[in-house]
Structure 1
Amino acid sequence: MKAASPTPAMDHPATFPLLTASKLHGVGARTLSRIAREIRQWGAGTDPERVVRSDPRVAQALSETGALEAATRLARADLQAARAQGASILCELDDAYPALLRPVPDRPALLYVLGALRGQDPRNVAVVGTQEPTRDGQRTAARIAGRYALEGWSVVSGLALGIDAAAHTAALEAGGHTVAVLAHGLDTLSPPRHRELAQRIVAAGGALLSEYPYGTAPLRPQFVQRDRLQAGLSLGVILIQSSEDGGSLHAARAALRYGRLLAYPQPSAADAAQGGRAVQATLRLLGGVDLESYLKCDARALQRVFRIRGREDYPELDRRLLALTPR
């Protein structure tokens, strides 16, 4: 799968040194972000490669025989794969790096992007939920995602079955922008049946985004990280439906942890009466019992939990979302 219009694989001069460092043993995202901050502090005229090499953890990793050569080879392979696909590799110093991710403490130092982001436009909202929604839940996801797409917001989701697919599809049908956050490299797709949907997203001017390099297979822990990235990219997360311990709660909790908003639609009367697994989480939020423990947050964060009862609540929801725009 290639981008509709190929974009530069790499732009900022710090990207390749950081990409190379990311291939070294023991060098993780925290180290890379620390190095990026140092490069930014030094300002124009700084040699990014020199700053990268001077980091103690990088220097230690480079002391291993053949480490630099192996890391460089792997970095070049990523760069070549991105160019062949028409994708971009962004470091957090890039102008195109999403603005909402910059203040997130565990942000990825590097992003792999196929398609087009709207990096400096803060009007991003994540619409997430279970892979096994009720019919009403599916309709609610489509209605909410379509409404935000029509209003010019970018709809962020995870390309999973169920609610995610409904959100992406509704955004596309509304002629809007949507971003699919992946839990694997851009050279694969999970689930495979959503390949056509992924192609539609890119062709319509949206993007597939991952923090994982080429060759990374979809593994369970990475989906948790993917969920937190959806929250970091957005002013708020709208949790449509989820079981009581569903994976989408990772995005919901991350939203509150990052100082963003968590919204949820009140279940339909039929779904509430049936009380199935798909609405367990929203019913618990509606009940309001021991939410600090359930959402793993403090009492102040609960002020950023918003119930959507109907369309009359959207103006207030929009106001609260936009009030969280970084200044």
Structure 2
Amino acid sequence: MSRDASKRGTPTRLFRHSGVVECEVDDQQDLTTEKRAFLSLAMMKGVGFHTLWQIAESQRSFQSVFNSSGEDLVQLLKSRGARLPNSSKADWKEIMSSLARSVDQLEATFQASQIQIVLRSDESYPRTLLHLDDPPHWLFVQGNTEVLTAPSIAIVGTRDPSPEGLWLAEYVGLTLRHWGRPTVSGLALGIDQAIHNASLAAKVPTIAVLGTGITVDYPKNIGPIRKKIVDAGGAVITEYLPGESYSAINFVRRNRLQAALARALIPVQWKERSGTAHTVRFAAGLGRAIAGLRLPTWDPRSINLPDGRGPRHVFTVPGQDEAFRAFVEKSLSDDLLYRQTSFL
């Protein structure tokens, strides 16, 4: 889990914030009191992901915590890992006043950029994430929240694909219209971005799961593709706080969300020690269908899928094209308590 001291974007004195891609959107409702309290706590200097997670795990509302008296609030936050600066009562009053103004500013940015906070109690929260041992207590979602609850296909792979890997990504991309379902990937360079672009070309929504905060420009200059994803009815999502930067553990935890959101996983090109391998293992543990791909020239032993509760098969393409399409298509309509089925 990301700790409060994990790497973040540069904070101001009291809060974290950075630029985010703006999209043309309709007016949205103001944040609920609970979400505003969550955002207020998240923007306090010394409070981070770990502290907020501990509060949520204790089943206390963020509103009840934030409405505590100054001394009680400080002690409660410190008991959950926050590193708050020493402040007098006068300082604390100014801090809370400045914090309120900062939350107003960030809320306005969220509205202009079509960003919503989705809590686990919200109807728009994707229930498939509850299959995880540690489902997110919150999500930041830029774009269409409804796409998160549709049956989808996770398609991931290496950041440094070979020409053969790019061919496989293009092959899968050309099949997306056949399934007509949203895709899930990680917005990383290489295979992930190839799949997002192929989804846009196929006119199917695509979901980008970030390993950073929703306001972070990572990979660098990713704004144009994010805007295309949102404008096309897709979504960019993360559980990390605004301004929070990347880390190895953040990407691992991000990968569990990719696996849990989707009903099927297609790892395109990957190594056994890689981020994609983490996603494959998460999918296997969750009972998701896994469709591995190999070219006829590849060693049959080059792709090994882990044991899991769901169906899995490595397909040779071209050659087993119909079987591959049928395998994925069935997984999209099947119960998530999968049964082993032969498609060959």
TM-score in terms of structure 1 length: 0.76
Letter in 2 for 1:242: W
Relative to structure 1, the CA distance from residue 138 to residue 302 in structure 2 (aligned partners, 3 Å threshold; closer, same or farther) is farther
Match of 1:318 among 314, 329, 335: 329
- Rounded Cα–Cα distance in structure 1 between residues aligned with 2:192 and 2:64: 42
8 Å Cα contact 1:155-1:178 kept in structure 2: yes
- Rounded Cα–Cα distance in structure 1 between residues aligned with 2:66 and 2:132: 22
Letter in 1 for 2:233: G
Relative to structure 1, the CA distance from residue 144 to residue 59 in structure 2 (aligned partners, 3 Å threshold; closer, same or farther) is farther
Task: Report what 2:341 is aligned to.
Answer: none
Equivalenced residues, count:
294
8 Å Cα contact 1:21-1:27 kept in structure 2: no
Task: Report what 2:37 is aligned to.
Answer: 17
- Rounded Cα–Cα distance in structure 1 between residues aligned with 2:53 and 2:30: 18
Relative to structure 1, the CA distance from residue 124 to residue 11 in structure 2 (aligned partners, 3 Å threshold; closer, same or farther) is farther
Match of 1:49 among 63, 68, 77: 63
Relative to structure 1, the CA distance from residue 113 to residue 137 in structure 2 (aligned partners, 3 Å threshold; closer, same or farther) is same
Task: Report what 2:25 is aligned to.
Answer: 5
Q: How far apart are residue 258 of structure 1 and its match? A: 2.5
Which SS does the other structure have where 1:306 is aligned? strand
Alignment of 1:175-324 (within 5 A): 175-265=203-293, 267-270=294-297, 272=298, 283-285=302-304, 291=306, 299=307, 301=308, 303-309=310-316, 310-313=320-323, 314-324=325-335
Letter in 2 for 1:18: F
Matched residues, percent identical?
Answer: 26
Task: Report what 1:111 is aligned to.
Answer: 139
Alignment of 1:73-84 (within 5 A): 78-84=106-112
Residue 88 of structure 1 pairs with residue 116 of structure 2: yes
Letter in 2 for 1:105: D
In the alignment, structure 2 segments of 5+ residues that lack a partner are 1-20, 338-344
Q: How far apart are residue 321 of structure 1 and its match? A: 4.1
- Rounded Cα–Cα distance in structure 1 between residues aligned with 2:73 and 2:270: 41
Structure number with the higher helix fraction is: 1
Q: How far apart are residue 77 of structure 1 and its match? A: 5.4
Q: How far apart are residue 204 of structure 1 and its match? A: 1.4
TM-score in terms of structure 2 length: 0.72
Q: What is the root-mean-square deviation of aligned Cα atoms in Å?
A: 3.3
8 Å Cα contact 1:185-1:214 kept in structure 2: yes
8 Å Cα contact 1:21-1:71 kept in structure 2: no
- Rounded Cα–Cα distance in structure 2 between residues aligned with 1:9 and 1:192: 31
Q: Radius of gyration: which is bigger?
A: 2
Task: Report what 1:279 is aligned to.
Answer: none
- Rounded Cα–Cα distance in structure 1 between residues aligned with 2:330 and 2:67: 45
Relative to structure 1, the CA distance from residue 31 to residue 4 in structure 2 (aligned partners, 3 Å threshold; closer, same or farther) is same
Task: Report what 1:98 is aligned to.
Answer: 126
Task: Report what 2:342 is aligned to.
Answer: none
Relative to structure 1, the CA distance from residue 244 to residue 194 in structure 2 (aligned partners, 3 Å threshold; closer, same or farther) is same
Q: How far apart are residue 107 of structure 1 and its match? A: 1.9
Which SS does the other structure have where 1:269 is aligned? coil
